[in-house]
A = this chain, B = another copy of it.
């Protein structure tokens, strides 16, 4: 180390909303207190390793466009270590407290599992040293069970038991290293846990394989004494035609079917949510309402494109609804807002990496401030309270408590809720106007 990889970039500072400097925060002021916590505490921003320090702009129709001075493309400890230097310089200059990785992002692959594990051990030391030096921490780790050809039909749901075993070995190691590095969470994104064609697939068997695997995970977490949060990240499709972890509610339902709901929460990525046909904020809100929101991969997609674009967010309305849900549950910890985002393939300057993250951090800072202002204003929550007021009656409470029957309901109905029951205006346009006051 010693080399400065972003020599032209100074540590990013808060410069206020009127700043025209792209390399400054206009809204994110880490130490500013909002509703009793600092912005840093509410947001718990994290940079991801794969997009920001491994990807180079290749897409299905074109070669890499992005070259980085610190990366010579080799699968060596030296190159991997230089990446660590560059990455931590980036984290520190940007001012984020967390990062995330897949095992293969930080570790040279080696010739076989044994060598990979040895490399991973070596890189764990390098990362631990950098964490100690900078104070940047690991938000979560994960194992990549989708890039290698062996995982072409899935890892835990592979039709090949040998692949299942290999996946188990890889997860075991990644869970252990994540624990050693003090990671706050461990994530499962089932990239290829699904199928390309139902014709060659036994879905029930594959779902049972997944459940068996996750039970081993719970056991291993106990065995190693890890206390991190386990998370499953849903995605409906891509790379597979169909993926089992379709969306938040599908995952939560699966956990309940296998009695695993106390051991896992959900890591929601809004780009996956929109691919599943739900609005940006849907899975964040639904998971939170069901007590299952563990962390957020804070990116955005394009509702009119059918694939994962993993873009940096710039939509303040969406950020406001996101942060409103986060505030409502008292914060995301031990989770955070992880930027699972990549600069566009055409954004070839190193500075773009800073600009992109700054823009996204400012977007969530605006969202947080708007959500706080909206809550302090109180108009929208009053409207909602009024809308559901009829449930705050004796009959309403008894219905919820399971003390009424359909016979009771018929009697109540015959006795006469006003003819116009249910036709009170839903006032969507007023709610939208109220939201517009803050975004």
Contacts and interface: CB of A to CB of B under 8 A. Distances in A.
Interface in A129-181: 146-153, 158-173, 175
A266 to B, nearest CB: 12
Interface in A218-251: 219-220, 223, 236-239, 241-242, 246-247, 249-250
B405 A216 contact: yes
A427 interface: yes
Identify the 10 closest CB pairs spanning chains A and B, nearest first: A306-B306, A253-B253, A168-B409, A162-B417, A346-B426, A303-B303, A162-B421, A150-B422, A169-B413, A169-B410
Contacts of A119: none
A409 B201 CA distance: 23
A68 interface: no
Given A152-B426, A199-B428, A417 B147 contact: no
How many copies of this chain sit in the oligomeric assembly? 4
B359 A149 contact: no
A75 interface: no
B242 A199 contact: no
Nearest to A280: B304
Contact of A417 (B163, B275, B413, B420): B163
A106 interface: no
Nearest to A19: B437
A169 B416 CA distance: 11
B219 A163 contact: no
Interface in A266-311: 274-279, 281-282, 285-286, 289-290, 302-308
Interface string A373-394: 0000001100110011011010
Given A151-B62, A432-B199, A236 B356 contact: no
A345 B152 contact: yes
